[in-house]
Amino acid sequence: MTAFEPQNPDYEAEVRRRFAQQPYNLALGARVEKVTPGRVELVMPARADLVQHNGYFHGGAIAGLADIAGGFAGWSLVAADQGMLTVEYKLNIVAPGLGEQLRAVGEVISRGRSIIVTRIDIFGHDGTRDVLCTTALQTLKIMRLPPELLVGAA
């Protein structure tokens, strides 16, 4: 993987703070496990409202987790006055999402002036080993944050 330099020296605190501000992330029960420049690891515990009739994680919950993991991997590289929006992602569920939790690893694979591309892998657990259940590619549009969303805004 290419090494990326964050534009915000407080990138880890910013990622964790922004993550905690988004009700959808919290509604899924997702949490940030690890943040490094261009890489974020999240976990999402299994709950009755996140699984489908066979007991596997619902595809919508998996897709949401992928979008979040890729987005915050990108956010770890932008300036303090920037954020981003997902403009596209492609998701392949390659095995059922199973186990007590899913672990998502979002990694930036390309960072341009206005676009970031990420790859996201999501792993379940079969009781013995981690199992890749989903892989995704995502495109993010870097944008300036409105003044009211900047740190220290009243």
Q: Does residue 152 surpass a pLDDT of 70?
A: no
**Rounded CA separation 153/47 (Å):** 36
86: alpha, beta or left, given left = phi > 0 and alpha = psi -120 to 50? Answer: beta
**pLDDT for 3:** 84
- The number of folded domains in the chain is 1
3-state SS record for 68-92: HHHHHHHHCCCCCCEEEEEEEEEEE
pLDDT tens per residue across span 72-118: 999 999 999 999 999 999 999 999 999 999 999 999 999 999 999 99
* Confidence band of 146 (pLDDT split at 50, 70, 90): confident
In a domain, 72, yes or no: yes
Q: Does residue 153 surpass a pLDDT of 90?
A: no
* Confidence band of 147 (pLDDT split at 50, 70, 90): confident
pLDDT tens per residue across span 3-31: 899 999 999 999 999 999 999 999 999 99
In a domain, 6, yes or no: no
Mean pLDDT, the chain, integer: 94
In a domain, 151, yes or no: no
In a domain, 154, yes or no: no
* CATH code assigned at 122: 3.10.129.10
In a domain, 126, yes or no: yes
User: Are 44 and 28 within 8 A, CB to CB?
Assistant: yes
Question: Residue 34 class from Cβ within 10 Å (0-12 exposed, 13-18 middle, 19+ buried)?
Answer: exposed
In a domain, 64, yes or no: yes
92: containing domain: 11-146
In a domain, 3, yes or no: no
